[in-house]
Amino acid sequence: MRIPCPHCGERGHEEFAYYGAADPRRPDADAPLEAWHDYVYLRDNPAGPHRELWQHVHGCRRWLEVTRDTRSHAIAAARDVAARGTA
């Protein structure tokens, strides 16, 4: 599997560290406990397109949001997390 890093070009995935699903967003500090439980523990875990976070640890060290199909490992998109804003 090769990940197209927007800064370094296409690289083998062994250069990257995997974090997990990109969609869960950190709740506010005073959000109810249930929101924190969902954020920390629950996952959609789709069989299909999956937005996920990878860090290019052996390259530019930037965090990327990669959209990959979990059935075929085909990567549809990869962008720097800075590009997705804070919303």
Residues within the interface to another protein (CB under 8 A): 1, 12-14, 18, 20-21, 33-34, 37-38, 40-47, 50, 52, 68, 70-73
Comparing CB distances to another protein, the nearer of 74 and 82 is 74
* Least gap, CB of 39 to another protein (angstroms): 10
Give me the residue label for tokens 């937005």: 51
b/e map 18-57, b = 16+ CB within 10 Å: eeeebeeeebeeeeeeeeeeeeeeeeeeeeeebbbbbbbe
Comparing CB distances to another protein, the nearer of 9 and 18 is 18
